Each structure stands twice: as C-alpha cells, then as structure tokens.
Structure 1
Amino acid sequence: MFTPLNNPVWHALGEAHAPFRLELQDNVRFYHPDYCRFGAFSAPADLTDSINRYAAQSGAPFFLVGENPSVTALQGQLEEVVCDQMVLHDPIKATINYPIQALNGGYEDDLYALVNLVQPGYFCPRTPEMGAYSGIFVEGKLVAAAGERMKLASFTEISAVVTHPEFTGRGFAKQLVAHCADKIYGEGKTPFLHVTSNNESAIGLYKKLGFRFRRKMSFWKVTYNRTNFSSKE
C-alpha cells in the first residue's frame, strides 16, 4: 500500500500533480520550478543532462528526492539532506482552540514571506497552488501556517508547518497539522510528511500527534552558479 511513498515525487508527478510536471527524459520528472524545485527518477541512469537542463531553467538550488542520483561532470554541488518520512495511520484527535483561516486566494504573499523566514529554500511563489494552505493570525499578522505539497493518488504530504519565532510555544503547529490531516482524511487519503532527521522537537510533536516513522528519505540539494550556463541554455 505504501510503496509509492518510496518515490513520492515521481508518483505525485505521474498522478495528482501531473499538470505541474516537466519531463526531461523518460525516467526523470521535475516539478516546474515556479511551483516546487523537486525532481525524481524511476531507474538508475546518468542524470547529468537532465539536471543541467533543469538547472538552466530553474536557476536556484533544487532537490532530487530519493536514491543517490548518478551524475558525471556535474556543474554544481550535490549535498544530501536526510529526512524522516512519517505517516499518519489514524485521524488526529485534537481540539482546535484558535481560528484557522484558509490562505489560498489572497494571502499568498504573507504565506511566502513566513515560510521563507522559518524554512528558507523550499517554498516557491506558486507553491500554494499545489494544495490547500491554512494559517493562524494574531492581530492581523500571519504567525503560523501549514498546508499540502506533494499529492499522490492515495496520499497527500503535509508541508510548510511553520510558526513565526515570536509566537512559538502556543500550540499553533499542533492545531494546523490536525486541521490539515482532517481535511486529507476527509478526502479518503492518508497524510504523510518529511522532517529533517535532526529536528528532534518537530519529530517529537509529530509522534505525539500519531505520526509514525516509515523510512529515511534523502533530499539531494543541487546548487549551481548561473555563470556555468550560456545564453543558449
């Protein structure tokens, strides 16, 4: 049942998120960089050409999610970020104590600013179009948010779980994750997420909410210097 989560980007771009796909060769799929700078491959092969072509289009650092990619003469740096993939097997029983507001359709700039303040490098201007995002406001200021990123046929990833540093410790993240999970379960799908393996506080929270560790997942960060690419690319 959970096999697609072994290669979530590949399956998302072949299923619910196919409209966001850039397919550079048969065994490589990338999200369009306006939405998400993630890519994946289905079988071992030299990915250098596809990676270089995507880098020429996206510019900013991006990630290959899954197994160690095979590359030769890479025109950039490759760095492994190890995450825990966690799955929620049962709905969260949590009381919602704070008003939660939908952020799609008017609050995208506030969401983009908050996520990149807390978790820089993953969130793009059009990421909110990938799924539903919700937030908590205090005195008109967005101070916490969470939403959906990768969508597969039977699974939806909870992502961008952030709280402004001045408003931590109030239970906002717990409320928002429970809210997102309830929505996903209501659609007949299973929530999952990725959290860096050294983020003990976040992992502890997710465990308390009922998420269970499934496997380690590598996010291979590729960083390029734009001067490596000619105007032809």
Structure 2
Amino acid sequence: MSDPGNEPHAELSTPIWQALGTRQAHLGEANVLARRYQADVAPFAAVAEELPEAFDALAELMRPGEIAAVLSREPLALPPGLRSTPLGAVHQMVAESRIDPAAGFGAGILELTDADVDDMLALTQLTKPGPFARRTNAMGRYIGLREEGKLIAMAGERMRVPGYTEVSAVCVDPAQRGRGLAALLINVLRDEIERRGEIPFLHVFGGNQSAIALYERLGFRLSRVFMLNQVSRAGDAVGATTAPLHAD
C-alpha cells in the first residue's frame, strides 16, 4: 500500500476514521483502536490499523446482530470471531473545480428536516443510493424536491473531514429521472460546501457507470479506490438488528 501522506487529498485516505475523530465525533462511539458511527446514524466504522487487535476493538463496539461497513485498500484479514463480506470497489471522487451558479440556481429546493425522515427513508429504499438510517440526516445538510407533496429527489452531506465534506444520498425517483434533478441538487450542495472553504467529495460503487459519468461531468475526479466490506460477528444472524448492506 502506498503511503497516504504522499497521495493527493491525503486526509481522505481514511475518511471514516478522520470524520469520527474530528467533526463528527459526537455522532460516534470509539475506543483507542476503533471508531464507529452510532447504529441509527450510519453503519460505517474504521480501525486505527488493519490489525487483528484493532478489529477485536471494533467488535467490542458492535452489539449482537449489528454490522459495520469498513473501507479498506486491501482484502481484510479478520481475527476469529468476525467475518467479512466484500461488497465491491468504491470510487472516491473529489471536486477539482469550483462551480459558477447560474441565475435561479437552487430555486424550489427544500431543506429537509427530521419531519421529512420517513419520506427520505422511503426514497432511499426505492433507489438504494447507499446506507441511509433514521438519523443519517444528523450528519449534515439534506435538501430535496417535492412535487404534489411527494419527495421525488434528494441529496445531502454525510462524512465531514477537516477541509472536506462528502456529498451523499443522491437519489431521484425512477419516474422522474432524465430531468437533471440529481445534478441540480449536487451543485446546490457543492456551492454551499465551497462557500465554507471546503472541498466536496463523494463515494460511488465502481460498477455504477451512469453515476460516475454524471459526477465526472460535474467536475469530480477519481481520487482513490477502496474496497467496501461488511463486517459482522461470526455467530450472528446478519441483520438481526441492522439491515445488511447491498452493493446497489
């Protein structure tokens, strides 16, 4: 593995670990060797180093039936008592140029709050943009569009690393695709993130070529590739308390 310190955007080489040790520590649980988001916020977790004792420390933070989503650069070698299911390659993409919002930019877009969570969950279950739990919206700003009262598109901010904010949960009702709604929402979030002096980034499964093409058109460029792994206790029924992840 290359030295992260020599890579571009080195702070993003361990985004979960960095976020939970800084700007989002209040949303997580941690010990010396492992950090995880609270289960109703997000399934993501990280270890200080990919060593058996660190994964044992992660297991101490996991309740029976829970799973953890762990990013890695190499296949995981877990200690006895834990199992890993690889879910696929994840591309990390970083915005390399600022946007110049046109007139009327963001018109009609709504701020989504706790009152919208049921609709947000329904839309993410329909479109499967990635893990989204009942308190995921506590991670940052979420925005959306409604038509005739129905939430038809949304996007939000997820991991927050010093100097960076992740754009996530980009989803559009299948019946409303082709209208440029995803690009609109992404650009509204980008504008706000960049106004704060931060750099937007995102994660997308490597097989989602249509999404990757959209992000490239919007100025995002590949930074690095991770493997996404679902980690659980070997004796647990996966999903007993947390829904298993899917590489959709």
Deviation at 1:42, TM superposition (A): 2.1
- For 2:115, what is the secondary structure of its paired residue? coil
What CA distance in whole angstroms lies between the structure 2 residues aligned with 1:97 and 1:122?
A: 26
Q: Confirm or deny: 8 A CA contact 1:48 1:70 kept in the other structure.
A: no
Aligned match of 1:70: 77
Matches within 5 A, 1:162-177: 162-177=171-186
- For 2:231, what is the secondary structure of its paired residue? strand
In the superposition, the TM-score normalised over structure 1's length comes to 0.89
**1:11 maps to amino acid:** Q
| Structure 1 pair 153–48 and aligned structure 2 pair: CA distance change class (3 A) | closer
What CA distance in whole angstroms lies between the structure 2 residues aligned with 1:219 and 1:128?
A: 22
Q: Confirm or deny: 8 A CA contact 2:106 2:188 kept in the other structure.
A: no
**1:204 maps to amino acid:** A
Deviation at 1:226, TM superposition (A): 3.7
Deviation at 1:94, TM superposition (A): 5.0
- Runs of 4 or more off by more than 6 Å in structure 1? none
- Are 1:39 and 2:45 counterparts? yes
| Residue of 182, 196, 206 corresponding to 1:187 | 196
| Residue of 46, 59, 62 corresponding to 1:52 | 59
Range with greater deviation from structure 2 (97-106 or 143-152): 97-106
Matches within 5 A, 1:1-233: 2-24=9-31, 26-46=32-52, 47-56=54-63, 59-67=65-73, 68-93=75-100, 95=102, 96=105, 99-119=108-128, 122-223=131-232, 226=236
Deviation at 1:154, TM superposition (A): 0.4
What CA distance in whole angstroms lies between the structure 1 residues aligned with 2:165 and 2:10?
A: 14
Query: Which sections of structure 1, spanning at least 5 residues, go unmatched?
Result: 229-233
Per-residue CA deviations over 1:178-221 (Å, capped at 9, x if unaligned) read 01101101111100000000110000000000111111022211
**2:42 maps to amino acid:** C
In the superposition, the TM-score normalised over structure 2's length comes to 0.83
Query: Which sections of structure 2, spanning at least 5 residues, go unmatched?
Result: 1-7, 239-248
**1:123 maps to amino acid:** F
Q: Confirm or deny: 8 A CA contact 2:82 2:231 kept in the other structure.
A: no
Percent same amino acid at aligned positions?
Answer: 33
